[in-house]
Structures are given as C-alpha cells and as structure tokens.
Amino acid sequence: MPNLRAYFSLLKAAYVLMREGVITALPEEGAPPPVRLAKSIAKVIERRRSKSQAQSENLSKALNRLGPSWVKLGQFLATRPDIVGASIALDLELLQDRMDAFPAEDAKAMIAETLGMQVEEAFTTFGPAIAAASIAQVHRATLKTENGQRDVAVKVIRPGVRARFNRDLETFFVAARAMERHLSIAKRLQPVLVVDMLATSAKLEMDLRIEAAGFSEMGENTTGDEGFRVPKVDWERTGRDCVTMDWVEGTKLTRVEELTVAGHDLSAVANTLNQSFLRHVLRDGFFHADMHPGNLFLDADSTIVAVDLGIAGRMGKAERRYLAEILLGFITQDYLRVAEVHFEAGYVPDHHDVASFAQAIRAVGEPIHGQDADKVSMARLLTLLFEITELFDMKTQPQLLLLQKTMVVVEGVARKLDPKFNMWKSAEPVVAHYVSRLIGPIGKLDEAKDGLKAMAKMAQLAPEMATRAERLSHEIDTMARDGVRLDQPSIEAIGKAEARHSRSGRVALWVIALGVVALVWQQVL
C-alpha cells in the first residue's frame, strides 16, 4: 500500500481543487460515489469569485497553488486531450509556467557542479534570472570571444526539483490506480500508463543535455530553411544541470502590435510558422512540441527563432506517411482514403467497417470546408475526432495526440498574427510535396532500402532465433505433457497482491472524500 504521505498529498490536492471550483465543474454522470460526495462538499467550500472568471483560470490557479510538479502535470495533460477533453486541454495550454526565481548563488553552485568550473571561469558576466519556470530558470551572461564579447542565455535546473517531482509522482500514481480501478472509462484511457509517460518525459526534461541535443539536431535539420532557426548550443558550457546557447535578439510573437509597428508582414510570418512546423514533422520526423508564442521570437529580418525545446515530438517514417495521407485526404475531401489509412495503420480495429468510418470522418472534415478562415475551428475538429475515437475503439496514439495538440497551438499563434489565417490552405503545398515524396518513387526506394536492412539484420540473428525456437518448442511440449503448475506459496502471494491492490484503490478514493469532510468540519467549528 502507498505511504501515508502520498494520501495526504492527494487529500491536499483534492481540497485545493475544490476551493478553486475545479471539482464542481466535473460531470456527475457515471461518477463513483466518492466523486459525487466530493462534488457535494466542493459546492460548500468553493471560493467565491467573480462570475466572469473563466474555468481555465480556476484550474490554472489551483495547479499553481499545488506547486511545480502539478504545473508540469497540467502541461503534460494539455498534450492528452483524449483524457481531459479538448476544452480542458485548451484551457491547460493557457497555464503559465511561471515560478519565483531561486537565488543566483544557487544557480552558480549548480553550474559549477555540473561543469566542473566556477561561473567566473565560464562566463565574463552572469546576470540575475530573467525568467523562472517549474523546472529551470534562465540567466543572461556574456562570453569572451576573439572578436570581443558574445551574449548567451544560460538555463539552469531548479535545485531539488528532481526529488520533489519523484515524491509527487507517487501521489499521481495513487490517483491513477484508483481511477483505473473504479472508473470504467479509465480502462481505455490507461491513466497509470499516462503517469508512466509523464515520469519518463519529466526525467528527460530535467536533464538539460537532452534539450541541448534537441537544439543541435533541429539546427542541423533546418540549415538552409528560410524564415526559421533555433539558437546554437555552446557544448563546452553545457551539462546535466545547465545549457548555454546563443542569446536571441528579437520580439516575442506575443507582442503583435510591436511586430506590426516594426513593419513585419505578419501574414507571411504566420504562413512560415505553419509550414516550418509541418516540414519538421513530415521531413525530419522531429518537431518542437511547445510552440506557444512565449517560446517564439521574430528577429530583425523576420526569421522565427524557437527556444525552450524541453518538449519535443518524434514521428517514424511509417507514421509520417500515414499522417501526410490523412492530412491530404482532409484537404482534398477524400474521406474514404482517410479512413483506409486509419485501418492500414492499425489505428482502427479490423472488425469495423471502412465505409462507416469514412462516413464518420466526413462529419469531421466537411465543416472545415466552404467556411471563412476565421470560422474554421481546430478545437471543434479535435473534439469530433476524439468522439469518433471512442465510437470506433481507436487505441490511444500518444505521438499523434502530441502532434494534434501542437497543431492547435501553432494555428492559434498564426491566428493572432493573422486573424484570417487558414491553416489548411497554408498546409496544402507542404503536405502535397511530402505525400508525393513519401509514397512516390523516392519513398518506395527508401522502403526498399529499409527492407534490405531488415533482411540483413534477420540473417544475422537467424542462428540465435533457431536456438530460441528449439528451446521454446521443448518447453511447450513439456507444458502440454505435464501442465502448468504453481506451488502453494506462489498462489498465496498472487492472492495477497490482488487483494492489496484492490484495497489501495478503494482507500485512495474514500480517504479524499472523508478527509475533506474533516477539513470542512474543522473550518465550520
């Protein structure tokens, strides 16, 4: 059974979510008794606020009150609209990952430890933090060069963030196991797997060498691309706890008025942003997955510079081909081909009818055609897609969900730059080019090369595979003759583990509800 600290942490989270009005907004239909009880309690203790305050503000405020790990959880769930719904996912996109800065002396100590040299040796000057988030903060510094001095940005990990996050992960697992045990929809959404993915994602994000490698890879991929670049990494001054890169001189894409006054063609910038993102996905199979306007700058020559590559996505060759065909099918209104690709990719189980799925896809695609650009809503499109996902038993595809989420964000940024921006018209030339490349002669040649490599690998493994097959055949014969037997200690251990797991899930739900009752009663007295 999980330790008491995890239960108390979960209890605190439930109380904060109630106070901030998040619990009362949850639907009651299909909710288990503890959740319905929690909603009733929440109506009593919910904080009074202006009726004009949006639910997204309530959720953001609650997660910020709970601390950095919960902010990171919110950011991660923003990439999983299949779990929280498209509307809440969009609300979570507004979550501002802003924390109080930790002292510069602590940052210097982290840098010295990870680089093996003092800050004064590594940098000519080292300024105070200019931005602080849940995992790291950024400082401006300068370096000596042959031509004088060069400005750089130094991102430093927050002290103690790994230990804090590991403690909070246990709380997330307690909640996920309880959901998986007692909510029928959770069996399809697999919340425990989601928390596992969060743990892996955060672990990578907390090693700044991984982010540096991402910048290096994207820099190589985009060499020669017009209108888009990423800052160059200084590997000599980069380690697990800090990354140093070129300082970006430019204007954030959040400052639309300043960009207009500066004379930039914002319609062209919006088009460049969208087409660059699609090229990264379809050409490179590696894309920036956190492209909100705060992470995007425009320099003097109208080149977009992307920073903060803590969240990135990857797409394999097969996935890119499927994606390109699906996007082109939506653009050209070939819904039957879109449906066929879903079946070929294995996204939809074979027992469903292709024509029926194509009909459902048409219901998603038709609303985006024949309308003014400012009326085409990607949020509405995603809502319909997730409803169809449930109807046709489509398995969750995390890499596609991250991609879809980023597409929504990119479109949102482009719309702020150009209110009449049409993502689909902008996408068509890029998608058409890569469809012809991926499924045309060049694509077939690439597939043939991959096939030959696979055959060569199998030939190398053939002797080992033959030995394993012989051993497996012998074991199967033994099982067929003697049966599968478990000794008594093994049977008892399995029974105890199952009982313990079941009790853990029930206790997690009831301790939240009953604990909040105690808190409310204490306040009343």
Question: CA 213 from chain center: how many Å?
Answer: 18
How far is 400 from 79, CA to CA, in rounded Å?
Answer: 10
DSSP secondary structure letter of residue 303? -
How far is 186 from 181, CA to CA, in rounded Å?
Answer: 8
Pairing of strands 304-306, 296-298: antiparallel
How far is 6 from 12, CA to CA, in rounded Å?
Answer: 10
- Answer yes or no: 290 catalytic: yes
CA distances from residue 393 to 128, 181, 191, 273, 338 in whole angstroms, order as listed: 52, 20, 17, 34, 17
Residue found under tokens 């000519």: 124
How far is 147 from 124, CA to CA, in rounded Å?
Answer: 14
- The 3-class secondary structure across 320-332, one letter per residue, is HHHHHHHHHHHHH
Please say whether the beta carbons of 205 and 310 come within 8 A.
Answer: yes
Which residues, in sequence order, are bridge partners of residue 246? 152
Active-site residue identified among 234, 290, 308, 418: 290
List the one residue out of 311, 69, 9 whose CA is nearest residue 195.
69
What burial class does residue 507 get, using C-beta atoms within 10 Å of its C-beta: 0-12 exposed, 13-18 middle, 19+ buried? middle
How far is 387 from 361, CA to CA, in rounded Å?
Answer: 11
Task: Please give the order of strands across the beta sheet that includes 251-252.
Answer: 228-229, 304-306, 296-298, 251-252
For 4, other C-beta atoms within 10 Å of its C-beta total 9
Residue found under tokens 């910020």: 64
For 457, other C-beta atoms within 10 Å of its C-beta total 10
How far is 372 from 384, CA to CA, in rounded Å?
Answer: 19
Which residues, in sequence order, are bridge partners of residue 384? none
DSSP secondary structure letter of residue 366? G
Quickly list H helices, 94-244. Answer: 104-115, 119-122, 161-182, 186-189, 191-205, 208-221
Tell me the catalytic residues: 290
